[in-house]
Amino acid sequence: MADEKKIDATEEVQKAKAEIAEEVADEEVDASGEEFEVTKEEMSIIRAELACEFPDDYSYLSDAYVKSVASKPYSKDPTVRRPLEYTMEKLTHVMEWREQAGAPEMESLVHLANGPETAPEAVEQPEKLAKAKALVYSLNNASLYWHGVTKEGKPVLWIRCGRKPWYPNVEAEVNALILIADAGIRAMPEGVTDFVVVSDSNSPPPPVPSFMINVLKALVRGYPDRLNVLLSAPVGSIIQFVMNLLMPLMPGRLAGKFLLKDEADARKILTEWLLHGEEDIPTFFGGPANHDKYYPEEGYSKNKGQGTLKFDYFGMIERLEASAKEWEEMQKK
């Protein structure tokens, strides 16, 4: 039985490696940092095509992000900019992945699960209600949330590994990640296109390869160039196992964005990164900021509505938008 599971995991790893390779064929060119001009007319053409192909979701991609993709060097000739057709192909891949993953409907599932089970939509669509309840169940442990921004205005996504379940519902956990990622991207300050992840890696649950591989595929296919850097501390045997599994699958450019540090080094880095420096370091990293005030463990949370949502999803968005606005105001001084 153990051998069968090992074979299944190996096959899953090889399949994921092939899928990821297709998405990152030109990553080394992207990594050059060089950017070319993109005119207003070209931006209008890209926008119009996206609106035509994806009328319900095209506004998800900000002008700043579209421009960052369109301005990159062309993989076949790095001395020139990507053709518009090539940029459209890359953006279309992202939007198609979002469509297949059901990303545009994730927030509506939160509203559904936060309402009464006697609501017409809940009664008429029991499968959708079940999906919604599984999603908010994955949110309720407050193991994943946005809080604050960096000195560069990048939203900070915090992961509390010790709160993750030992036996996760992989689909629901990935859906929660998509929901949270999209919420953070929508709340980004003007001109900001990527985010920072900080993982409190104390007491993580046993690793689930299928979940980790699905998260990596989502990051590469659905959120290319969105991750600026991921800081994880402390580094234990489980985190080392996770990195040993994922590193061979990662494009080189993505692998270089992972920092594994001890808690003392992590505090120094966070002091440099976070908008208010040491003041913004959370208590679980030895700082003064009490995240549990907003994101307590599930046992200390109360239902937010008439349904099963306990995690303060909507409050999280309001706080992140306020942080983004504060950063924007600071740039005017």
The CA distances from residue 252 to 28, 121, 140, 190, in Å, are 8, 45, 34, 29
CATH number of 137-331: 3.40.525.10
Please tell me whether residue 145 adopts helix, strand or coil conformation: strand
23 has pLDDT over 60: no
Distance CA 20, CA 7 (A): 20
> Lowest-pLDDT range, 164-178, 233-247, 310-324?
233-247
- Which H or E run includes 16? helix 2-23
Contact residues for 101 (Cβ-Cβ < 8 A; gap 6+):
174, 175, 178, 218, 222
Domain boundaries, the chain: 32-101, 137-331
| C-alpha closest to that of 263 among 239, 231, 310, 296 | 231
Residue-wise pLDDT for 260-318, tens only, equals 999 999 999 999 999 999 999 999 999 999 999 999 999 889 989 899 999 999 999 99
Provide the pairing of β-strand 77-81 with 73-74: antiparallel
Please tell me whether residue 282 adopts helix, strand or coil conformation: strand
Give the model's pLDDT for residue 65: 94
Confidence of residue 213 (pLDDT cuts 50, 70, 90): confident
User: Are the C-beta atoms of 232 and 260 separated by less than 8 Å?
Assistant: yes
How many C-alpha atoms does 72 have within 13 Å on its Cβ side? 23
Please tell me whether residue 73 adopts helix, strand or coil conformation: strand
Contact residues for 332 (Cβ-Cβ < 8 A; gap 6+):
none
Query: Residue written as tokens 């921004």?
Result: 149
Contact residues for 314 (Cβ-Cβ < 8 A; gap 6+):
304
130 has pLDDT over 90: yes
124 has pLDDT over 50: yes
